[in-house]
Structure 1
Amino acid sequence: MLTNSAIRPVEGGSQTLARGLSALTLIGEGETPLSVAALAAELGIHRSMAYRLVRTLEDYGFVERLPSGELELGARLVALARSVAPSLQRAAGPELASIADELDMTSFLVVFDGEAAVTLSSAEPRHADTTVAQRPGSRHAIDKGAPGLVIRSQLHPDEFPPQRFERSHDEVILGISSIAVPVTLPEGRPASIAVLYPPRPLDQERVVDVLEAAARKISAAMR
């Protein structure tokens, strides 16, 4: 959970806007639903100010207030999310679907949002009996999870030398393993492509080869 230290307007920036963005982050990433009073406490502002802030976000469709008084993100954000990095999502979409069906694993593209590794888009295998869901917008620190570790090495290659691939287990989702490889994007933007799967015997070399082939196609489409 964030604290009021999350209100970080740049020098000369807007504290009101910073509060609004912090409120959206708290509502969207909180482990438990927040009330307006709890949101005010987290932001370190008076409850009346929090009510005005929430009302404005409600008016624009960014926040919805449930009958219980708890807050959740509004449907307007779904429309905005479709417009995030559209060229990258278009390039990655067919490759993610192909990976998912070929390997019978959930595949996903991860980018860096300035603080954490964020799932931009994902695909689940169409013919698998069970799948592991990875929702776009999911975030985790770059020091855990295979795609996070790939991004960390892209950001800090001297401290964490880049590897051909990274593998993790039980780090982001309990009981789930992941393999990820880097994706080369314009201007050196950090990104990785990965798969999720319950632990099972697998041909790791084949998985890595499939991921790398998809990464090359995405990179070529973004040039």
Structure 2
Amino acid sequence: MTSGRPGHGPTEPGGERTSSGRPGETAQTLDRGLRLLHLVADAPGGLTVTEAAHRLGIGRAAVYRLVSALTGHGMLRRDRAGRLRLGAGVLHLARRAQPLLAEGAMPALRRLAEQAGATAHLTVVEGDEGVALAVVEPSWTAFHVAYRTGSRHPLERGAAGRAILAGRAGSAGPVTTEGELQPGAYGVAAPVLGVPGLEASVGVVALAPLDAATVGGQVLTAATAIAHALS
């Protein structure tokens, strides 16, 4: 039988103490749960409970309690090998957040489309693809690229995806491409940096070559404005 010191919860296997419901302990549990979600999200092959316990620096019993709660809310799941993976609940939350992201980005995208005379877009990461979350077409051009919201493409192709990869590497861009997603289309994009939990880029695509210096500066300004709007 185990017992704790006065003022502390009882000790469980692995050296962890059960929560007595005090605010500090509740906040610690929440922090560990969120850290566990981030660890699983960053592990393409999933994590075992033992691996998660080691990386969090806590006992297996505590990880099992976190997994039980997060699985109940659909945030985690166990695959056939028993490894921890993200659950469908995370995707549900992400989809619910997307309209808010698009709304926050729209003013900067409108300015960018009008300044550059090109179709402006906000692209976010889903898995190993970039997805166009918001698109704004210029109002004064005779011709422009029709770019559909929801369009997907590999991160390794196109200015939007390459800008996201550049942001992962610590570069603010801008990135320019020609004909990678559509023959005769030119793109300039920059990553949206400084928004926790968000991997995204903002850019423009046009049917004619773009002035990299001028449009690149406009794209960088838009990326900064969107980062401030979403922070």
TM-score (norm 2): 0.57
- Structure 2 portions without partners, runs of 5+: 1-75, 81-87, 89-94
> How many angstroms does 1:186 deviate by?
2.4
> How many angstroms does 1:121 deviate by?
0.5
Whole-angstrom distance in 2 between the partners of 1:154 and 1:114: 16
Whole-angstrom distance in 1 between the partners of 2:229 and 2:143: 31
1:192 match = 201
CA RMSD of aligned residues (A): 2.4
Amino acid across the alignment from 1:167: T
> How many angstroms does 1:188 deviate by?
4.5
Q: Which of 145, 162, 165 is 1:152 aligned to?
A: 165
Q: How does 1:51-66 map to 2 (within 5 A)?
A: none
1:115 aligns with 2:128: yes
Whole-angstrom distance in 2 between the partners of 1:172 and 1:10: 35
Whole-angstrom distance in 2 between the partners of 1:119 and 1:97: 15
1:217 aligns with 2:229: no
Amino acid across the alignment from 2:228: A
Deviations 1:166-189 (A, max 9, x none): 111111112101010111252242
CA contact (8 A) 1:185 1:191 kept: no
1:131 aligns with 2:144: yes
CA contact (8 A) 2:174 2:219 kept: no
Whole-angstrom distance in 2 between the partners of 1:143 and 1:203: 23
Q: How does 1:39-188 map to 2 (within 5 A)?
A: 83-155=96-168, 157=169, 162=171, 164-188=173-197
Count of residues in Structure 1 that have an aligned counterpart in Structure 2: 144
TM-score (norm 1): 0.58
Deviations 1:111-131 (A, max 9, x none): 101220110000001111011
CA contact (8 A) 1:185 1:222 kept: no
> How many angstroms does 1:205 deviate by?
1.2
Whole-angstrom distance in 1 between the partners of 2:145 and 2:159: 15
> How many angstroms does 1:94 deviate by?
1.3
Deviations 1:157-216 (A, max 9, x none): 2xxx6352111111111210101011125224211001001133x432110111111111
Q: SS of 2:196's equivalent?
A: helix
Q: Which of 4, 8, 11 is 2:78 aligned to?
A: 11
Amino acid across the alignment from 1:214: A
